[in-house]
């Protein structure tokens, strides 16, 4: 945005310089003793000055009142300059027609000054328009687009569920994503609403999300920013999910989420989505049918004779014939596995109990030695720690 204001300042300097040079040129400095010449000179100065001021004010109003987006690429500047020159060439003929039609009492140098001012203003307006609306130019002029198409630099827009999940931090540290992370303002507002909820579980989830977001902002490795930009097509829709998809389309980005339903809707709307559950599942070790593994039954399953166990990464294992073996370590053989966006499930059947080898450091219970009779006929009982 600073570059745009520098460009505006340069525009004003150029306009003032052009007006000053034309006013002080020899062609506009006529004989002071000739009254007609003085009248023509006054008309030249009047029309050149006021037309330049009017054009500058008109252009600035259009520029400032236009909704702002990010600054465009350098190619947009050259494209806008080309369009501005073509439009200026057409409008100079309009200026000549107006001077002749209304018999405006000005000389040719004054008309030339007006044309220069008009040309510079039109070029400025064309460049500013392309720089601010570069992503929409392709809808007006087909096959012309200034947005970057490189996949590695496409921004990753975080959903509320992805922030609360927290695994995005570890993914960024692994250098898997080299794209900047964007948190829209409406996602931050939703996190705050969840953190202020009257329900304890939702309130804890919201506070965890805010803690994760604060951790990412203070991490020098992670490139993250809060997006406060106002895009009309995004503000028109309702709901955070709909806003996310519209924002991803407007910024040519991808949505990062753990929400299964949002992933499916985004695919229907032709929006690229990164489901962290899918990514985590694809990195898990594949359990092939016939392999054996050691598990501990935690609880009974939904079906008869089923027991439920979990791996260290949270993968649920359904074991047949293990309903009555809760709390015991078993060796099972894998029969099949199910991979979904919501997670991964492994199905197996009971083979045998885990046989633990005896640990010499394990403390055994105290045992009593049988009664013995000494040589005097007395009964001695000794308790030893075997």
Residues 6 or more apart from 336 whose CB is under 8 A from it?
Answer: 289, 346, 347
Identify the CATH number of the domain in which residue 346 sits: 2.40.50
Is the residue at 310 inside a domain? Answer: yes
Strand, helix or coil at 343? strand
Is the residue at 209 inside a domain? Answer: yes
Q: What is the pLDDT of residues 305-336, one digit of tens each?
A: 889 998 876 778 899 888 888 888 888 888 88
Q: What is the pLDDT of residues 225-275, one digit of tens each?
A: 888 877 777 777 888 888 888 888 888 888 989 888 888 888 888 888 888
Do 131 and 16 fall within a single domain? yes
Tell which of 116, 140, 164 closes a domain: 140
Do 8 and 134 fall within a single domain? yes
Is the residue at 223 inside a domain? Answer: yes
Is the residue at 45 inside a domain? Answer: yes
Do 224 and 98 fall within a single domain? no
Identify the CATH number of the domain in which residue 205 sits: 3.40.50.1010
Is the residue at 16 inside a domain? Answer: yes
So what's the pLDDT on residue 250? 81
Q: How far apart are CA 279 and CA 214, in angstroms?
A: 24
Say how many Å lie between the first and final Cα of the chain, rounded: 83
| Domains contained in the chain, number | 3
Do 116 and 171 fall within a single domain? no
Do 176 and 224 fall within a single domain? yes
Do 187 and 267 fall within a single domain? yes
Averages of pLDDT over runs of 10 residues in the chain (386 residues) are 73 79 61 57 73 76 57 61 84 84 80 83 81 56 47 77 88 79 89 89 89 89 83 79 86 87 86 84 72 88 86 82 87 82 78 67 42 49 40
Strand, helix or coil at 271? coil
Do 23 and 124 fall within a single domain? yes
Q: How far apart are CA 11 and CA 7, in angstroms?
A: 6
So what's the pLDDT on residue 72? 44
Is the residue at 385 inside a domain? Answer: no
So what's the pLDDT on residue 49? 76
Is the residue at 164 inside a domain? Answer: yes
Is the residue at 377 inside a domain? Answer: no
C-alpha count within 13 angstroms, C-beta hemisphere, residue 332: 31
| pTM listed for this prediction | 0.42
Tell which of 120, 140, 160 closes a domain: 140
Do 156 and 261 fall within a single domain? yes
Tell which of 140, 173, 206 closes a domain: 140
Strand, helix or coil at 336? strand
Helices 185-195 and 240-250: crossing angle in degrees, nearest 10, is 160
325: containing domain = 292-353
Do 186 and 277 fall within a single domain? yes
Cα–Cα nearest to 106, from 22, 192, 177: 22
Place of tokens 């649920």: 316
Do 278 and 301 fall within a single domain? no
Do 156 and 136 fall within a single domain? no
So what's the pLDDT on residue 148? 43
Residue 187: CB atoms within 10 Å:
25
Do 176 and 227 fall within a single domain? yes
So what's the pLDDT on residue 70? 44
């Amino acid at each position: 945005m600073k570059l745009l204001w520098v460009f505006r300042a340069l525009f004003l300097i150029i306009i003032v310089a052009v007006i000053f040079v034309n006013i002080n040129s020899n062609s506009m400095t006529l004989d002071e003793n000739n009254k007609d010449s003085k009248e023509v000179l006054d008309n030249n100065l009047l029309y050149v000055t006021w037309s330049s001021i009017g054009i500058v004010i008109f252009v600035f109003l259009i520029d400032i009142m236009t909704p702002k987006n990010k600054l465009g690429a350098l190619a947009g500047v050259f494209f806008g300059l080309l369009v501005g020159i073509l439009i200026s060439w057409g409008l100079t003929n309009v200026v000549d027609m107006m001077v002749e039609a209304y018999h405006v009492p000005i000389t040719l140098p004054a008309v030339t000054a007006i044309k220069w001012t008009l040309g510079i203003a039109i070029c400025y307006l064309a460049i500013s328009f392309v720089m601010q609306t570069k992503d929409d130019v392709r809808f007006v002029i087909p096959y012309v687009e200034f947005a970057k198409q490189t996949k590695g630099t496409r921004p990753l827009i975080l959903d509320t569920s992805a922030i609360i999940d927290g695994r995005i931090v570890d993914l960024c540290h692994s250098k898997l994503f080299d794209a900047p992370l964007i948190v829209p303002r409406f996602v931050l507002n939703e996190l705050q609403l969840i953190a202020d909820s009257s329900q304890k579980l939702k309130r804890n989830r919201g506070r965890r999300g805010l803690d994760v977001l604060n951790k990412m902002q203070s991490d020098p490795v992670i490139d993250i920013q809060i997006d406060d930009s106002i895009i009309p097509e995004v503000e028109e829709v309702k709901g955070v999910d709909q806003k996310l998809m519209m924002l991803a389309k407007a910024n040519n980005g991808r949505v990062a989420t753990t929400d299964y339903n949002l992933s499916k809707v985004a695919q229907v709307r032709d929006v690229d989505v990164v489901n962290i559950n899918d990514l985590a599942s694809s990195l898990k070790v594949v359990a092939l049918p016939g392999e054996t593994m050691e598990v501990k039954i935690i609880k009974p399953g939904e079906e008869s004779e089923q027991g439920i166990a979990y791996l260290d990464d949270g993968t649920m294992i359904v074991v047949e014939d293990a309903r009555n073996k809760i709390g015991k370590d078993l060796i099972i053989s894998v029969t099949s596995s199910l991979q979904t966006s919501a997670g991964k499930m492994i199905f197996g059947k009971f083979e045998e109990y885990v046989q633990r080898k005896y640990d010499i450091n394990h403390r055994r219970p105290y045992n009593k030695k049988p009664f013995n009779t000494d040589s005097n006929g007395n009964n001695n009982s000794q308790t030893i720690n075997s």
